[in-house]
């Protein structure tokens, strides 16, 4: 009985912890430059469409791609 309650508790914690809020909207923004040796830039510099990137990330959040 004690083991069953422990398993239920663990599964409940995992379930709650893995829930994602898909109601939010992702909007691309340029990464912050932190002076940590990593070069950052924006989507235009990398020839990436920022609208496409935002739409794709939102689709992933909503479970539409996987």
- What does the pLDDT look like over 12-65, one tens digit per residue? 777 665 655 556 788 888 888 898 999 888 888 888 898 988 888 888 888 886
pTM flag (> 0.85)? no
- Domain assignment present for residue 52? The answer is yes
**What's the token pair of residue 55?**
């739409």
Domain tally, the chain:
1
Domain holding 47, by residue range, is 24-66
Distance CA 60, CA 40 (A): 23
- Domain assignment present for residue 31? The answer is yes
> Mind giving me the DSSP string for 18-32?
H---TTS-----PPP
């Amino acid at each position: 009985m004690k083991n069953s309650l422990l398993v239920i508790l663990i599964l409940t914690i995992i379930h709650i912890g893995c829930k994602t809020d898909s109601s939010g909207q992702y909007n691309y923004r340029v990464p912050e430059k932190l002076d940590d040796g990593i070069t950052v830039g924006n989507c235009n510099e990398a020839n990436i469409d920022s609208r496409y990137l935002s739409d794709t990330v939102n689709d992933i959040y909503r479970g539409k791609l996987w």
